[in-house]
Amino acid sequence: MFDYHMHCAYSADSHTPLQDQLAAAQAAGLREICLTDHVDFDDCGMPPADIAARDKELESLRASFPGLTIRRGAEVGMRDEKSAAAAWEYLKDRDLDFIIASVHMVDGIDAYYPEFFEGHTQAENYRRYLAWILQCLPTMGHYCVLGHYDFCCKPAPYENRAMTYSLAPDLFDGIFRELIHSGKGMEINTSAWRDDPCWGLDIYSRYRELGGEFVTVGADAHRPFQVGRRIGEALDLARAAGIPYVATFQAMQPIFHKL
């Protein structure tokens, strides 16, 4: 069991001590985790995590969690070439294992807040979010997977928040082809599902059909009760989509585990 998307108090949007997240991972029976605190230069207003301080504290805690493999990562908010370069300059000497490339801001608006949804239909909003991913991905050189393609679904004010492939086949195919061409993977992020049935079988099946070979899985936990949440369902979804491997990472290189 792996959870490769996790935040702690070094991320500006989490107040959970690092030790508490590690204890939650151990209690959840996880074998391996990656800390992916936010390093954003996308005008989201959050200062980048102090990765050096986090990793120093992590090294002091490792011995207390001997059964848990702990990798060091970051989540980078995408915007353009300038923001990508700033993030890499910030991270390049940190010897990280894993980097998630994610979109949070769309045209200067945080897709987590109500302002993003005002004045547009659900289909328009979801397509706007996907179009921004497709626009931003080529600006990123240093990353391992695309994070939460459905981030905007998490706070969406709709009875059915699920995103479907049929909504934007052109955009999804463009995203998948960019990832596959670049040798990158997709994340299955369980946080947007909240307590609803999981979605994404149609999306990950198409990713596989175009040549996608691996995913990572993550709960995007900011608090202890979220650590490892619904990871089993994410792995079942990957299997059902025909994806051969779930990956973990070391020194930015994938380690493939057959599903």
- Tell me the average pLDDT across 49-78: 97
**pLDDT tens, position by position, 99-131:** 999 999 999 999 999 999 999 999 999 999 999
- Tell me the average pLDDT across 82-88: 96
Could you tell me the pLDDT band of residue 69, with boundaries at 50, 70 and 90?
very high
Host domain of residue 222: 2-258
Edge to edge, what strands does the sheet with 98-102 contain? 2-3, 32-40, 69-77, 98-102, 145-146, 185-189, 214-218, 245-250, 253-258
**pLDDT tens, position by position, 41-59:** 998 888 999 999 999 999 9
The CA R_g of the chain, rounded to the nearest whole Å, is: 17
d(CA 221, CA 201) in angstroms, rounded, equals 22
- Give the pLDDT of residue 43: 87
Q: Provide the number of structural domains found in the chain.
A: 1
For residue 208, pLDDT beyond 90: yes
Q: Give me the percent of the chain exceeding a pLDDT of 90.
A: 97
CA nearest to 148, candidates 104, 113, 109: 104
Say what the alpha-carbon torsion angle 119, 125, 131, 132 is, to the nearest 10 degrees.
80
For residue 163, pLDDT beyond 90: yes
For residue 185, pLDDT beyond 90: yes
Could you tell me the pLDDT band of residue 21, with boundaries at 50, 70 and 90?
very high
* Mean pLDDT for all residues in the chain: 97
CATH number of the structural domain spanning residue 95: 3.20.20.140
For residue 187, pLDDT beyond 90: yes
